[in-house]
Amino acid sequence: MAAMTPTAQETAAVEAKSPAPDVTRTRRRRPGIRRGLVLGLAGAYFLVPLVASFVFTVHVPGQGISFDAYTQLLSADGFTESLLLSLGLAAATIALSLLLAVPALIAVRLGSPRLRPVIEVMCMLPLVVPPIALVTGITTVLRWGPEHLSRTPLYQTFIAVQNEKFPVVLVLAYAVLALPFVYRSLDAGLRAIDVPTLVEAARSCGASWPYTVVRILLPNLRSSLAGAAFLTLALVLGEFTIASLLGFQPFAVWIVSISGAQARMSVAVSILSLVITWALLLLLSRTGTASAASAPSRKES
Amino acid sequence: MSAPTTTPHPTGTAGGSTTRRRRRGPRTWLAALPLLVFTALCFGIPLGALIFGAVTRTDSGSGVTSLTGEHVARSLQGPYLGSLIGSVQLSVLTALIGAVLGVLIAQAVVTSRSQGLRSAALTASGVLANFGGVPLAFAFIATLGISGVVTQLADLGSLDWDLYSFTGLAVVYLYFLIPLMVLVTVPALDGLRPQWREAAQNAGATPWQFWRHVGLPVLAPSLLGGFVLLFGTAFAAHATAAALVGGSVPLVTLKIADALSGNVLTGQENVALALGLDMILIAGLVMAVYLPLQRRSARWLR
């Protein structure tokens, strides 16, 4: 999961920024061949598993081509439930992490620059803690519930956050995991606009604080908000470790649970989830490029 | 970075109106409070519980909690130590291979004149670097597993190929590590300005001398940083390994998961916590190396 560090958005910004160096005109032929070889081998390594898994799902040995693995998906036991659970968790996580991070980051820009390093460290710390270590901590805390707090009102909270239907504890854990990505995306967006000037202009025209934030700042941050939301969505849809160890069954856990009995279907679902993630991230890099084009002063660091 | 809105206005400094002017300070601080409280609760408490559980022991009879190094010591012995070493070995190996191959691909992409290839490669890297976890494991099972398509076509079974092994895991990990390295290296290679090469050439330097004295020293922090990032990513990966090998390869993440889901003797939970602590320490060390390197390389990347 920590692999999400460089975002597709950063990639897009890099693309937009740097024209290809064209000093290579005088190059000899050998580097060209070597380059072709490198890129060809890399292309093969990255394409073969994708093509092969598709072939695996549609080609049944001895029976020929069949799309059953895909058509039977919708009626498969637990498919809709787990997918809906994952989407619900993703929506809640996005809402929570944006609600927490947006005011904090705007505040840091506006009036509390001294808080800046504190917020930054707090948002980046989850990168140091692997999800599996976080979940060992969470299980320990959850065990306190029945052991020490069974006679206090807090106990009810412990039960409530572990509701099978909608495990709030997962939302909280995912929001922690998403924090570094949300922070980076928002920070880059805020860096591109002059927050104090915008706010002062709006305030001196008589705009209220909520109006200033909702109608002036947020529209300017649209692409980085979208970026944060997409990355969080991709993270939650693919998350396996925490959910499986806490005993819930969102999408990724469900795929593993059916793999034993229905190998073909589990691969089909994997391809689908790859396609969905791919589409999301392409969309994200599209919005990223658009914002980079409209704000040429933007600097990525 | 300083916010103009908070600079004290000269008109208000004389009288008692300063308190009114200052009011915005605390108010903006309040907006950051939910985030601080949230991280303290949802990140700080589990982390605290992890550390506390790793270094203490509670006597089941008397309920007395005492400080002990026993769990940490146990986590550094026998099969647990083996799993830590296995994880470190796998991560170092995959990070090394991934870094080298990633740099080669990034160099090929950067030196090619095609803008289309460049943007395609970068977008694909962005997507593939995020393609870890369970779906990746299943894609590889379908490709190189026992009845996988490529295994059947190339008859890899007779060549002793085994996806569910250390080597197999390394091949799978490279699928997201190489793109990650490409993403990290392309900006660094872009920072290597053509003028430097021209200057070196004009001064009579051979390509080797250019790389030895200009290219590599400039790139070194980014490359090392990329390696460390790859190491950290491979080290923390759990879902791919869990879906792929189950327990046949000793990895610390798999051992922790085993201990947590009660597949081992009772009373081992604290060892799981200690293993988690070991992981955080190693990952923290990695970050302590990575962040300064990243800052150093940023100097050359405009």
For residue A36, give the chain B residue with the closest CA.
Answer: B108
Name, of A53-62, B172-181, B254-263, the range with top average pLDDT.
B172-181
Say if the Cβ atoms of B27 and A111 lie within 8 Å.
yes
User: Quick check: is B10 in a domain?
Assistant: no
Which one of B24, B27, B138 has the shortest CB-CB distance to A267?
A: B138
pLDDT at B19: 43
pLDDT at B292: 78
Mutation for testing the A interface, residue in B84, B138, B147 having most A CBs under 10 Å: B138
CA distance B242 to B248: 10
CA distance A90 to A92: 5
Say if the Cβ atoms of A113 and B243 lie within 8 Å.
no
Q: Are residues B197 and B137 in the same domain?
A: yes
Residues from chain A that touch B37, judged by Cβ atoms under 8 A, are: none
pLDDT at A93: 94
Structural domain boundaries, residue B58: 28-67
CA distance A31 to A34: 5
User: Quick check: is A43 in a domain?
Assistant: no
Given B67, B91, B122, the domain boundary residue is B67
- Termini Cα distance of chain B: 18
Residues from chain B that touch A27, judged by Cβ atoms under 8 A, are: 111
pLDDT at A285: 66
Q: Are residues B289 and B213 in the same domain?
A: yes
User: Quick check: is B36 in a domain?
Assistant: yes
Which one of A119, A141, A196 has the shortest CB-CB distance to B32?
A: A119
User: The complex's ipTM?
Assistant: 0.79
User: Quick check: is B14 in a domain?
Assistant: no
Assess whether pLDDT exceeds 70 at residue B233: yes
Which one of A20, A35, A129 has the shortest CB-CB distance to B115?
A: A20
CA distance A98 to A224: 11
> Would you give the distance in Å from CA B155 to the centre of its chain?
35
Q: Are residues B208 and B275 in the same domain?
A: yes
pLDDT at A16: 46
CA distance B102 to A195: 38
Residues from chain B that touch A195, judged by Cβ atoms under 8 A, are: 3
Count the domains in chain A.
1
pLDDT at B3: 43
Cα–Cα distances (Å) from A227 to A28, A253, B131, in that order, read 42, 25, 17
Residue pointed to by tokens 């392309």: B186
User: Quick check: is B15 in a domain?
Assistant: no
Residue range B201-210: mean pLDDT, rounded = 85
What are the tens digits of pLDDT across the range B261-300? 765 555 667 888 888 999 999 888 887 887 777 777 666 6
User: Quick check: is A47 in a domain?
Assistant: no
User: Quick check: is B22 in a domain?
Assistant: no
Residue range B193-208: mean pLDDT, rounded = 84
CATH of the domain at A274: 1.10.3720.10
Say if the Cβ atoms of B134 and A240 lie within 8 Å.
yes
**Chain B: nearest CA to A183, how far in angstroms?**
11
Q: Are residues B58 and B96 in the same domain?
A: no
Residues from chain A that touch B215, judged by Cβ atoms under 8 A, are: none
Q: Are residues B100 and B216 in the same domain?
A: yes
pLDDT at B297: 67
Residues from chain A that touch B31, judged by Cβ atoms under 8 A, are: 103-104, 106-107
In Å, the largest CA–CA distance within chain B is: 89
User: Quick check: is A64 in a domain?
Assistant: no
Residues from chain B that touch A126, judged by Cβ atoms under 8 A, are: 43
> Which residues in chain A land under pLDDT 50?
1-28, 291-301
pLDDT at B58: 73
pLDDT at B284: 85
Count the domains in chain B.
2
Q: Are residues B202 and B280 in the same domain?
A: yes
CA distance B291 to B98: 20
Given B18, B42, B67, the domain boundary residue is B67
**Chain A: nearest CA to B15, how far in angstroms?**
22
Structural domain boundaries, residue A77: 71-289
Residues from chain A that touch B122, judged by Cβ atoms under 8 A, are: 11-12, 14-15
Which one of B184, B186, B239 has the shortest CB-CB distance to A252?
A: B239
User: Quick check: is A30 in a domain?
Assistant: no
For residue A259, give the chain B residue with the closest CA.
Answer: B138
Whether A6 contacts B183, CB under 8 Å:
yes
Q: Are residues B122 and B250 in the same domain?
A: yes
User: Quick check: is A40 in a domain?
Assistant: no
Say if the Cβ atoms of A244 and B175 lie within 8 Å.
no
User: Quick check: is B44 in a domain?
Assistant: yes
Say if the Cβ atoms of B239 and A259 lie within 8 Å.
no
CA distance B133 to B135: 6
pLDDT at B2: 41
User: Quick check: is A295 in a domain?
Assistant: no
Whether A105 contacts A183, CB under 8 Å:
yes
For residue A277, give the chain B residue with the closest CA.
Answer: B127
Whether A198 contacts A219, CB under 8 Å:
no
Q: Are residues B179 and B48 in the same domain?
A: no
**Chain A: nearest CA to B131, how far in angstroms?**
7
User: Quick check: is A238 in a domain?
Assistant: yes
CATH of the domain at B222: 1.10.3720.10
Given B18, B41, B67, the domain boundary residue is B67
Residues from chain B that touch A197, judged by Cβ atoms under 8 A, are: 4
Q: Are residues B216 and B287 in the same domain?
A: yes
User: Quick check: is B5 in a domain?
Assistant: no
User: Quick check: is B13 in a domain?
Assistant: no
Name, of A47-56, A278-287, B12-21, B185-194, the range with top average pLDDT.
A47-56
User: Quick check: is A34 in a domain?
Assistant: no
pTM (predicted TM-score): 0.80
